[in-house]
Amino acid sequence: MFRIVLCVMTLTVSVVGWAHEIPRMKDGRPDLRGIWQTISSAVWNIEDHPAELGIPAGHGNIDTGKLPYREDAIQKRKENFSNRLTEDPEAKCFMVGVPRITYMPYPFQIMQTNNQVTILYEYIHTFRNIYLDSDHPPGPIQWWMGDSRAHWEGDTLVVDVIHFTDQTWFDRSGNYHSEDLHVTERYTLSGPDHILYAATIEDPKIYSEPWTVRMPLYRRKEDHAQILEYECYAYMEMTQTNE
Residues of the chain with pLDDT under 50: 1-19, 236-243
Q: Is 17 contained in some domain?
A: no
Cβ neighbours, 10 Å, residue 66: 10
Q: Is 102 contained in some domain?
A: yes
What pLDDT was estimated at residue 233?
83
The CATH number of residue 104's host domain is 2.40.128.20
Nearest 10 degrees: Cα torsion 54, 60, 62, 66: 110
Q: Is 203 contained in some domain?
A: yes
Q: Is 159 contained in some domain?
A: yes
- Please give the Cα distance from 47 to 59 (Å, whole number): 7
Angle among Cα 198, 200, 206 to the nearest 5 degrees reads 145
What pLDDT was estimated at residue 11?
35
What pLDDT was estimated at residue 54?
86
What pLDDT was estimated at residue 6?
37
Q: How many domains does the chain have?
A: 1
Q: Is 15 contained in some domain?
A: no
Q: Is the pTM of this model over 0.75?
A: yes
Q: Is 141 contained in some domain?
A: yes
**Structural domain of residue 204, as residue ranges?**
23-242
